[in-house]
Amino acid sequence: MKYQPSLPEHNDNVSHHHPVREFVILIFGVVGLVVISFLILGLFVDQAVNYISPEDEAQLFAKVDLSGAFGDEESSTTQELLQQLIDSLGRCHNILFPLTVHLIKSEDINALALPGGDIVIFSALLKQLPSINGLTFVLAHELGHFKNRDHLRSMGRGLVLAALITYFAGANSDVSQMLASSMTLGQTKYSQSRESKADETALDILNCYYGHVGGATDLFETLQQEEEGSGSELFHYFDSHPEIQKRIEMIHALSKKQGYQVGETQPLNDHFAIQDTL
Amino acid sequence: MENIAVIVILVSLGYFFGRMAENKHYQSIREREQAFLSLPTTSTKKPMGNIDHISHVQLVHGNVVISVDYFKRFLATLRNIFGGPIQAYETLLDRARREAVLRLKESCPDANQIINLRLETSSISKGDSERIGSVEVLAYGTAIYHQDSNAQAPIL
């Protein structure tokens, strides 16, 4: 027996397919699977939300304090005034289920509608808004979300998405991060349409309460000034709220279409002693 | 949006640098394998040829640790969803095995043959998803030196 040294002509221990080809096939496969499952389950969520009445919702979330997650609550006369305002706005548009306002100390200019009938108002909003009409529009916008059941939709869809991503790609992998980010981008258009719908309801409520829609764009003009100051105009396309300028134009167009008048606005300080309480 | 950009950058960097390093490594493996072609290396337990001519034997080993790049790890995670051969890791293990054997041979360039070659593989990260995975391959065997070899007998 003679030992004959030689090297193999081919390396049969490795595949010779291009890895990028495999990568593209797999990534399209997994994204496609998640997108299709999410579209189907998202429709189920939308249907299920229609069967959850505000009373059921209040019962479901009675023991959950979601607003507490955003910061300390400001218990003040301002909060009581906001509560009175939201109650009157609800009556104006026949939204009769109980809603609770939570005034939270925060530097963010924002307001949120949470499941269980809670509306969170961040204190910076009251400091920045020039008129009571502007504040009324923001509250009416949140009321619009409740009326359209958007808070339940977004929570339901969020849960479905988290479950799908965890099922397919595990809890904390690079693939799950990539899927979560890309699916959030994919949801942008859906969220924007829900925001526009809430703006529409808000405009109706504002007109019903004051008899005109003056101050409807106050918040967006304030945000626009803030943004011009900071100079960050990147990634606008991906905001869940339609681009600010577009949104202002849309509100103007809608009020024109509905034949709403634009009247005088009243300064916010006449109603709330903001600087003292916050 | 920023998250996706970060992942795309990491995957691209992993792909380009990983592929560059891999090609370079394969080139070096091929050249060194050619250079050591005349050193017979087998997994047999008994030496080839006349055992009366053996001057001494020696335990020799070579080991290597190779890390997986971000692209390969991402690709392997995707493959885990659907199942099938994880091609991304095949070259990693192939390189590690061949490099370990080469290091073993380089540790005894004057040996006449190496017998009883064994290979052991272990994962450094032990499946911890938070850490980049890396693989260790250890090759060990018995180097045989013939009497007419120029090699010095080891001092025991």
B69-100: per-residue pLDDT in tens?
A: 889 988 988 888 888 889 889 999 999 999 99
The average pLDDT across A145-149 equals 87
User: Which of B1, B82, B114 is the best residue to mutate to test the A interface, defined by the most A CB atoms within 10 Å of its own CB?
Assistant: B1
What interface predicted TM-score (ipTM) does this complex get? 0.78
Which pLDDT belongs to residue B13? 94
CA dihedral A61, A204, A209, A98 (to 10 degrees): -10
Q: Which two tokens stand for residue B138?
A: 């250890």
Tens of pLDDT, residue by residue over A205-256, are 888 888 888 888 888 888 877 777 665 555 555 555 667 888 888 888 888 8
Distance separating the N- and C-terminal Cα atoms of chain A: 95
The minimal CB distance from A174 to the residues B74, B87, B93 is found for B74
Q: Is the pLDDT of residue B106 over 90?
A: yes
Q: To the nearest whole number, what is the mean pLDDT of chain B?
A: 88
Tens of pLDDT, residue by residue over A151-197, are 888 889 889 988 988 888 877 777 888 888 888 777 777 888 888 88
* Angle, CA A10 vertex, CA A7 and CA A11 arms, to 5°: 90
Phi, psi (rounded to 5 degrees) for B118: -130, 150
Output helix, strand, coil percentages for chain B, rounded to the nearest 5. 45, 25, 30
The average pLDDT across B28-37 equals 94
Q: Name the pLDDT band for B125 (thresholds 50, 70, 90).
A: confident
Higher pLDDT, B87 or B49: B87
CA closest to A179 among chain B residues: B4
Distance, CA of A178 to CA of B8 (rounded, Å): 9
The average pLDDT across A20-28 equals 92
The nearest CA of chain A is from the CA of B72 a distance in Å of 9
B15 and A170 in contact by Cβ < 8 A? no
Tens of pLDDT, residue by residue over A30-86, are 889 988 999 999 999 989 988 888 888 878 887 777 666 677 666 677 888 888 888
Q: B4: which chain A residues are within 8 Å (Cβ-Cβ)? A: 178, 181-182, 185
A14 and B91 in contact by Cβ < 8 A? yes
Which pLDDT belongs to residue A277? 43
The minimal CB distance from A3 to the residues B1, B40, B71 is found for B40
| Domain residue ranges of chain A, discontinuous segments joined by + | 20-277
User: What pairs with residue B64 in β-bridges?
Assistant: B137
Three-state DSSP state, A106: coil
A175 and B77 in contact by Cβ < 8 A? yes
Find all residues with CB under 8 Å of A278, minimum gap 6, and list them. A74, A76, A78, A105, A123, A126, A127
Distance, CA of B25 to CA of B27 (rounded, Å): 5
Q: What is the pTM of this model?
A: 0.70
Q: A27: which chain B residues are within 8 Å (Cβ-Cβ)? A: 78
Residue type, B62: G
Q: Name the pLDDT band for A272 (thresholds 50, 70, 90).
A: low
Q: B78: which chain A residues are within 8 Å (Cβ-Cβ)? A: 23, 26-27, 30, 175
Q: Exposed e or buried b for every residue in A105-123, given b needs 16+ CB within 10 A? A: ebeebbbbbbbbbbbbbbb
Domains of chain B listed by start with CATH number: 2-146 (3.30.110.70)
Q: Is the pLDDT of residue A259 over 50?
A: yes
A27 and B78 in contact by Cβ < 8 A? yes
Q: Name the pLDDT band for B63 (thresholds 50, 70, 90).
A: very high
Q: Is A14 on the interface with B (CB under 8 A)?
A: yes
Q: Is B51 on the interface with A (CB under 8 A)?
A: no
Q: Is the pLDDT of residue A276 over 50?
A: no
Q: Name the pLDDT band for B11 (thresholds 50, 70, 90).
A: very high
Which pLDDT belongs to residue A85? 87
**Strands (DSSP E) found in chain A:** 100-104, 111-114, 118-122
Residues above pLDDT 70, as percent of chain B:
90
Which pLDDT belongs to residue B25? 96
Q: Is the pLDDT of residue A198 over 60?
A: yes
Higher pLDDT, B143 or A245: B143
The nearest CA of chain A is from the CA of B38 a distance in Å of 6
The minimal CB distance from A168 to the residues B10, B71, B81 is found for B81
Distance, CA of A187 to CA of A238 (rounded, Å): 9
CA closest to B29 among chain A residues: A7
Tens of pLDDT, residue by residue over A84-140, are 888 888 888 777 777 888 888 888 888 888 888 888 888 888 888 888 888 889 989
Which pLDDT belongs to residue B2? 73
Please report where in the chains the tokens 């005088």 appear, as a residue: A264
Q: A19: which chain B residues are within 8 Å (Cβ-Cβ)? A: 15, 71-72, 75, 87-88
Which pLDDT belongs to residue B12? 93
Q: Which DSSP state fits A237?
A: G
Q: Name the pLDDT band for A260 (thresholds 50, 70, 90).
A: confident
